[in-house]
Amino acid sequence: MELRDLPGDGKAQPRADGRGARRVQPVELLKNARELFRRDRVAAIPEADNGEIYTGFCIEACSGVMNLCAERVAGLNMYMQSGQTKVRRMIAFRDRPPCGKGSGMPCGACREFFYQLNEENEDMEILVDYAKRETVTLRELLPKWWGAERYEQAR
């Protein structure tokens, strides 16, 4: 599919409710995504519990107040688009698939985020080596998670 095949002219449209906010056309989102790739950004792709696929790109700003990893952006995108909080599996990469060691590994903040999003995400599989098809679970990356007790009390 090419950009020209998508609906919309790439220009921001005024909202129907007149609040002045903009509704971005799909073609504009794709242009933005391509720009992010050109900047050598990390992308993350979680598969939600229902099998739907979502995406996110890392956001880095000069002041640091808006920095977010691709994994958290993708998780938030999944939640905002569908209300889902459970992830089956996820891959994160920059210019090539994960190849072992630290590549493909979520940072500590992202590990915590996915646990807090849904306790059952402890079983989500994270691809750490594409060639070997090796995955690791969130439980393995963050054993004895502090929030498990709070989840237990909330039931």
Of 30 and 45, the one with the shorter C-beta distance to Zn ion is 45
Of 48 and 69, the one with the shorter C-beta distance to Zn ion is 69
Provide the minimum distance between the beta carbon of 69 and Zn ion in the complex, in angstroms, as a whole number: 3
**Beta-carbon neighbour count of residue 38 at 10 Å?**
8
Burial class (CB in 10 A: 0-12, 13-18, 19+), 155: exposed
- The residue number whose beta carbon is nearest to Zn ion equals 69
Q: Which residue has the tokens 């009390």?
A: 153
Of 48 and 75, the one with the shorter C-beta distance to Zn ion is 75
Of 48 and 126, the one with the shorter C-beta distance to Zn ion is 126
At residue 18, the 3 state secondary structure works out as coil
Residues forming contacts to Zn ion in the complex (CB under 5 A) are 69, 107, 110
Provide the minimum distance between the beta carbon of 105 and Zn ion in the complex, in angstroms, as a whole number: 9
Provide the minimum distance between the beta carbon of 118 and Zn ion in the complex, in angstroms, as a whole number: 17
Give the separation between CA 83 and CA 85, rounded to whole angstroms: 7
